[in-house]
Amino acid sequence: MNNSASFSVLPGIGVAAILTACLVAFLILLAPMIFYLLTLQKALGRCAPENRAMEPGLVWLMLIPCVGLVWHFFIVLNMAKSLGREFQKRGITAGPEPGKVLGLVMCILCCCSWIPFLGVLCSLGALVCWIIYWVQIAGLSRQLQA
C-alpha cells in the first residue's frame, strides 16, 4: 500500500514539472519580445509628437494573444510613417517610409507560419526578418538620438 501511495504522488510531480517547464519556456520567449517592444516604443518616442502616426505606448497591445498578429501590421505601417516624417523634418536622408517593406514581409511570414507544411519555413523566414527589422529600427532610432 505504501508503494501505491508513493506512485500517486509522482503524476502530481510530473504535472508540476511540465507546468514549470512551460512557464520557463514562456518567459524565455517573452523576454526578447519585451526588448523588441521597448525598442519600438523608444523609436516612436524619439519622433516629435506631430510626426507620430501612433503613440509609443500602443506597441504593447501586441502582447494580446491573437490581436498581436494583426496589430503588428499596424505597428510596422505606423512606425514607417512616423520615422519617414521625422527624418524628413530633420533633413536626414532616408526612404519615405523606412523599414516598411521588411516589416510587412515579416508580418506576412508570421501569418503564413500557421499554414500546415509551409509553416516551418515561414516561421524561420519570419524569425530572420524579425531580427533584421529589430536591428534596423534600433539603428534608425539611434540616428534620431544623435
Q: What is the pLDDT of residues 67-116, one digit of tens each?
A: 999 999 999 999 999 999 999 999 988 888 999 999 999 999 999 999 99
Distance, CA of 57 to CA of 145 (rounded, Å): 19
State whether residue 70 is helix, strand or coil.
helix
User: Cell 502582447, residue?
Assistant: 63
State whether residue 127 is helix, strand or coil.
helix
Give me the half-sphere count of Cα atoms (radius 13 Å) on the Cβ side of residue 18: 6
Which tens digits make up the pLDDT trace of 28-77?
A: 989 999 999 999 999 999 999 999 999 999 999 999 988 999 999 999 99
Contact 107, 99 (CB under 8 A): no
